[in-house]
Amino acid sequence: MVKKRVIPCLDVAGGRVVKGVNFVDLREMGEPIDLATRYSELGADELVFLDITATLEGRGPILGLIERAAAELTIPFTVGGGVTGLDDARSLLRAGADKVAINRAAFDDPSILTALADEFGSQAVVCAIDARAGEVVTHAGKTPRGRDAVDWAVEAVQRGAGELLVTSIDADGTREGYDLPLTRAVAAAVEVPVIASGGAGEARHLAEAFEVGAEAAIIASIVHERPERLPELKIELKEMGWNVRT
């Protein structure tokens, strides 16, 4: 059986990892690739690099970082953030990203998902969906789009997405657990794997996300604070009976 995945997400701005409000000294975190390599050694199943400022600032994606990551990492990684359209997404995949996560650009023009799936295979195409109270939001949660997140999830898969990264803006950063009704509804509505995102605080939260149908769960601040938390989480999940890679 395929194992449930635990995926650290590295939010990158200006080439540095920025997620985690409790970081006092960013230099101690190292560069994204160093941190990524550390997570890989500690048992991360894959990684997500999210260029969090890209859409707001209109800045293009971080191709140099991807080329290095492709050469140096030995686990899969997804790149998202700043994907403005088909050419942008294509350049990320051509630079060596295993998967590209597309959010607003796909919502605005779903044919992008189809074009990428045709060229790279749907396994390389992740549709990132941010939701607040079940409604799709874009631009880092600032713009409500008036569409039900589950409804959009179903269309995104029909269009070619091979995986969905579903983030609850309500839960993000709370450490009080994932948005389980949202995760459950999306996972039940589609055939592709669903990655739950936003709200991880402890192993129990990941277990809950798996329980409602997520194949994978994103963690961020809890491991950025203390990377050794990662193998501990995997062991705790295993002890709870989940099929994880340890």
C-alpha to C-alpha distance for 213 and 192, rounded to whole angstroms: 11
User: Both tokens of residue 112?
Assistant: 């992008």
Start-to-end CA distance of the chain, whole Å, equals: 15
Choose between 47 and 137: whose C-beta lies nearer to another protein. 47
Helix H segments across 19-148?
26-29, 32-41, 54-57, 63-72, 86-95, 104-108, 111-120
- Which helix (H) or strand (E) element contains residue 145? strand 143-148
- Which helix (H) or strand (E) element contains residue 48? strand 47-51
Q: How far is the CB of 150 from another protein (least distance, A)?
A: 17
C-alpha to C-alpha distance for 129 and 107, rounded to whole angstroms: 9
> Which region among 29-37, 105-113, 117-125, 137-145 touches another protein (by CB under 8 A)?
117-125
- Residue 193 within binding range of another protein, rule CB under 8 A: yes
* Cα-to-chain-centroid distance, residue 144: 20
Q: How far is the CB of 31 from another protein (least distance, A)?
A: 18
> Which region among 22-30, 96-104, 145-153, 222-230 touches another protein (by CB under 8 A)?
96-104
Helix (H/G/I), strand (E/B), else coil: 219: strand
Q: How far is the CB of 74 from another protein (least distance, A)?
A: 5
- Residue 218 within binding range of another protein, rule CB under 8 A: no
Helix (H/G/I), strand (E/B), else coil: 57: helix
- For strands 47-51 and 16-17, give the pairing: unpaired
Choose between 18 and 186: whose C-beta lies nearer to another protein. 186
11 labelled catalytic: yes
Q: How far is the CB of 54 from another protein (least distance, A)?
A: 20
Among 2, 22, 24, 146, binds another protein (CB under 8 A): 2
Choose between 77 and 107: whose C-beta lies nearer to another protein. 77
C-alpha to C-alpha distance for 217 and 201, rounded to whole angstroms: 12
80 strand-pairing partners: 50, 101
Q: Residue holding tokens 């953030």?
A: 81
- Residue 75 within binding range of another protein, rule CB under 8 A: yes
Count residues near another protein (CB under 8 A).
37
Among 31, 42, 53, 67, binds another protein (CB under 8 A): 67
Among 65, 207, 216, 219, binds another protein (CB under 8 A): 216
- Residue 87 within binding range of another protein, rule CB under 8 A: no
- Residue 95 within binding range of another protein, rule CB under 8 A: yes
Which listed residue (11, 51, 172, 179) is catalytic?
11
130 labelled catalytic: yes
Four-CA torsion 136, 140, 142, 144, nearest 10 degrees:
-10
Residues identified as active-site: 11, 130
Contact residues: another protein, CB under 8 A: 1-5, 40, 45-46, 67, 70-76, 93-96, 98-99, 118-124, 162-163, 191-193, 215-216, 245
